[in-house]
Structure 1
Amino acid sequence: MEHILNFENSDFEKELFGNYDRNIKALEESFSTNILLRDSKIFIIGEKSTDVNKCARVIEELFKLFKKGTTIDVQLVRYTVQVINDDTNSNLENLGDDVIILTSKGNPVRAKTLGQKNYLENIKKNDVTICVGPAGTGKTYLAVAMAVGSFRRGEVSRIILTRPAVEAGESLGFLPGDLKDKVDPYLRPLYDALFEMFGAEKFEKHLESGVIEVAPLAFMRGRTLDNSFIILDEAQNTTKEQMKMFLTRFGFGSKVVVTGDITQIDLGDNKKSGLSHAVMILNGVKGIAIDELTEKDVVRHELVQRIIKQYDKYEKKQQMLKSKGNSEEKKYMKKK
């Protein structure tokens, strides 16, 4: 079967194919098709009509995004393929609508997936947004971008970013160096995002003046934070008590975003994650949005998506086996 598309846009055709035809090769592999460009027309050739039609839909969606200024790369091609495979009626046109901010180098920051777009909408509409999802879904980066945008528009006067100082099984008390030496590595991802968005000079200036504050979670105790955009990152490593303490810190004119991955909890076995607990008890509370990003929203190397998927499968299987084991144990105890 053959399908012909004609956009009469040489810039789009160039970007669609990509350097060394990387984009188009990814598209061909996804649908077992051959894609050719002749006389400004795109020919899609394949054995199965469903593959050819889906491939055409992907290219049409990419053209809509291109017209809105979205750069086409392999990552976007693969994501569009994934969305069209899930639902051929999906519309990605609105994905490129909103530019959150421009970085210090003038690069636009925007949602790259439908899940991310929904996450950003929740942040806009709610005072508190709790987002859970695997690594690479842009939870923290997008939250920082929203904070910077809010600050630039004068909606808040401060940006406060915090993390619990417990990660990868390490305890700060056993690490060498003074407090700054111990804390900085844990907060580095937050510094990096702010550095990219503000630029070196402005970032340092705001940090020194206290407009930007990056600190461990323990430093939030006993404070009321007005007119601030507050982000708690790596929240899966908070205890229930810490989470309650944090969520009751924000005051008038403030916005809070909590991010974390509940599959990467580094607390002791006897401690329940404050993030898991908050998701459970705060769901449905007015003014609070609970958001979940999945492996479909991963915007890193495609292999990261596959790795996350395999771990999810394994963990679900283990939970099923554990649940089955518990039920068998209960049956045995009843017999006794």
Structure 2
Amino acid sequence: MTENTTIEKEYILARPEDEVALLGAQDQFVTILEEGLQVTIKPFGNVIKVSGAADTVDQTLAILRNMSDLLAKGIKLNSADVISAMKMAGKGTLTYFKDFYNETLIKDAKGRAVRVKNFGQRQYIDAIKHNDITFGIGPAGTGKTFLAVVMAVAALKRGDVEKLIITRPAVEAGESLGFLPGDLKEKVDPYLRPIYDALYAILGAEHTTRLMDRGVIEIAPLAYMRGRTLESAFVILDEAQNTTNMQMKMFLTRLGFGSKMIVNGDISQIDLPHNAKSGLIQAQHILQNVAHINFVTFSSDDVVRHPVVASIINAYEANDTKPNGAKK
């Protein structure tokens, strides 16, 4: 049999009622698997026919088996789960796929379980649990901000902390705050949108607003942290690649007793003026061996957005490493 030989195998659904949940609404999971593994999937009632190269057909069947096992346990799947399974199958680690569903981090505003989606996210969560300060460094779409907010809200609900403080430097991505209408809060809020989105997803918009009104949740530009000591608080610094060295030092030294800090950033997306060095990059070098501080690095493999996002990240990284690439 040559490498180019196409084979066809069948996967038989043990529970025909799981067909829609296994294949996704409008067969969206089918599309993800077909594009990602170069296979053809044809459902016929409780029989799913998969054709393609032998190794990718076997990977697809293994993914379907794992997904079916999770559905049998009452676990609902989404596109991110399918992408994660596909990546693990490619790396030969699909055996551990179902382990991610053993722990629920929190239930979101709609009552759905929030869990880690891949090994990178599991390392990140473990680091947050066991360290006072955790750095999450890597590209967009890896779940850094969302999971940081998840862990913060979970700590708040358990009573481990009394406040949730989320901040980011007010550095514009090629835009100017000065030309935007409104007061400082109205100018800065659009830059904090991903944080609001995460809070709304986990707590709901009304509950988030109530907690903000009571001062339990505080969202503010990084400059507002100066001169404070943050006791019994869960503090998240997002977009940390846009801090200067002095800002990073100022922020980290706000840590008080009974507090945790998470510092997230993407060093490929630095919007600082050209002569300014990123405080996040310097912190990587300076704090690498300091006790109670952990660095978790994500890669494009950990992206849980649309598969094209990971391809975009890889394409830009490849271009930036060329001799004439636009490397920062």
- TM-score, length-scaled by structure 2: 0.88
> Matched residues in 2 for 1:308 and 1:83: separation?
19
Classify 1:18/1:199 alpha carbon distance in 2 versus 1 (closer, same or farther; 3 Å): closer
Which secondary structure state, in structure 2, belongs to the residue aligned with residue 185 of structure 1? helix
> Matched residues in 2 for 1:213 and 1:302: separation?
34
> Could you tell me how far 1:7 is from its partner in structure 2?
5.2
Question: Pick from 98, 101, 104: which aligns with 2:103?
Answer: 98
2:132 is aligned with 1:139: no
Classify 1:196/1:21 alpha carbon distance in 2 versus 1 (closer, same or farther; 3 Å): closer
Residues 39-50 of structure 1 mapped to structure 2, 5 A cutoff:
40-46=46-52, 48-50=53-55
The amino acid across from 2:214 in the alignment is S
1:274-321 deviation per Cα after TM superposition (whole angstroms, max 9, x unaligned): 011111221232211101112222222222222111111111224899
> Could you tell me how far 1:238 is from its partner in structure 2?
0.2
> Could you tell me how far 1:226 is from its partner in structure 2?
0.8
Question: Pick from 217, 221, 228: which aligns with 2:222?
Answer: 217
Question: Pick from 183, 188, 192: which aligns with 1:178?
Answer: 183
Partner of 2:32: 26
> Could you tell me how far 1:109 is from its partner in structure 2?
2.0
Question: Pick from 266, 271, 274: which aligns with 1:266?
Answer: 271
Partner of 2:3: none
> Could you tell me how far 1:230 is from its partner in structure 2?
0.2
Identity of aligned residues (%): 46
List alignment gaps of at least 5 residues for structure 2.
1-6
Larger radius of gyration: 1
Aligned residues: 321
Partner of 2:119: 114
> Matched residues in 2 for 1:10 and 1:115: separation?
34
> Matched residues in 1 for 2:264 and 2:326: separation?
29
Q: Contact 1:240–1:273 at 8 Å: present in 2 too?
A: yes
1:203-248 deviation per Cα after TM superposition (whole angstroms, max 9, x unaligned): 2221122111111111111111111000000100000010011011
Q: Contact 2:320–2:326 at 8 Å: present in 1 too?
A: no
Partner of 1:148: 153
Which secondary structure state, in structure 1, belongs to the residue aligned with residue 322 of structure 2? helix
> Matched residues in 2 for 1:245 and 1:42: separation?
58
Classify 1:88/1:106 alpha carbon distance in 2 versus 1 (closer, same or farther; 3 Å): closer
Residues 231-246 of structure 1 mapped to structure 2, 5 A cutoff:
231-246=236-251
> Matched residues in 1 for 2:181 and 2:285: separation?
37
Which secondary structure state, in structure 1, belongs to the residue aligned with residue 235 of structure 2? strand
The farther-off stretch of 6-15 and 177-186 is 6-15
Classify 1:313/1:70 alpha carbon distance in 2 versus 1 (closer, same or farther; 3 Å): farther
> Matched residues in 1 for 2:177 and 2:101: separation?
42
> Could you tell me how far 1:175 is from its partner in structure 2?
4.5
Name segments (4+ residues, structure 1) moved above 6 Å. Answer: 319-322
The amino acid across from 2:20 in the alignment is K
Residues 1-336 of structure 1 mapped to structure 2, 5 A cutoff:
1-6=7-12, 8-37=14-43, 40-46=46-52, 48-87=53-92, 90-173=95-178, 175-318=180-323
The amino acid across from 2:209 in the alignment is E
> Matched residues in 2 for 1:86 and 1:251: separation?
41
Which secondary structure state, in structure 2, belongs to the residue aligned with residue 251 of structure 1? coil
The farther-off stretch of 67-76 and 124-133 is 67-76
Which secondary structure state, in structure 2, belongs to the residue aligned with residue 230 of structure 1? strand
The farther-off stretch of 273-282 and 56-65 is 56-65
> Matched residues in 2 for 1:242 and 1:94: separation?
39
> Could you tell me how far 1:120 is from its partner in structure 2?
1.3
The farther-off stretch of 167-176 and 236-245 is 167-176
> Matched residues in 1 for 2:228 and 2:143: separation?
28
Q: Contact 1:112–1:299 at 8 Å: present in 2 too?
A: yes
Classify 1:178/1:92 alpha carbon distance in 2 versus 1 (closer, same or farther; 3 Å): same
List alignment gaps of at least 5 residues for structure 1.
323-336
CA RMSD of aligned residues (A): 2.5
- TM-score, length-scaled by structure 1: 0.86
> Could you tell me how far 1:129 is from its partner in structure 2?
0.6
The farther-off stretch of 121-130 and 60-69 is 60-69
> Could you tell me how far 1:44 is from its partner in structure 2?
3.7
